[in-house]
Amino acid sequence: MLAKLTSKNQLTLPKNVVKDFPGTEYFDIAADQGRIVLTPVTVSKTGADDDRLKPIWDKIEKLGITEKDVEDAVKWARRPK
C-alpha cells in the first residue's frame, strides 16, 4: 500500500491498516534505519506515558484548561466558515 506525503507533511493511513487499531487516535512515531515506525499509544494522565506527558499536563492544569474548553475549541475550529 502507498501513502502520499502532502505539502503539509501529512499522511493518510490506509483503512486496511487502521482497521487493526480500533479506537486508536495517537501513534508514537520513530525513524528506524530508514523506516517510519508508528506505534499505537493511549494518552492519559496516568500510566506509562505519564512521565513523558507530565510537563504538558502540568501546563494545561496551570492554564486552567478543561476538557470542555478543548471540546469547545474543536467545535469552533470545525464550524462552517
Write down the pLDDT at residue 41.
85
Pick the CATH number of 1-42 from 3.30.70, 3.30.300, 3.40.30, 2.10.260: 2.10.260
- Is residue 26 a contact partner of residue 15, using CB atoms and an 8 Å limit? no
Q: Would strands 26-32 and 35-41 be described as parallel, antiparallel, or unpaired? A: antiparallel
Q: Give me the pLDDT at residue 9, please.
A: 93
Domain locations in the chain as residue ranges:
1-42, 44-81
| Alpha-carbon torsion (47, 24, 12, 38), positive or negative | positive
Q: Which helix (H) or strand (E) covers residue 39, if one does?
A: strand 35-41
* Cβ-contact 38, 46 below 8 angstroms: no
pLDDT, averaged in runs of 10, over the chain (81 residues): 90 92 89 94 64 82 92 93 82
Decide: helix, strand or coil at residue 60: helix
pTM for this entry: 0.48
- pLDDT score for 44: 64
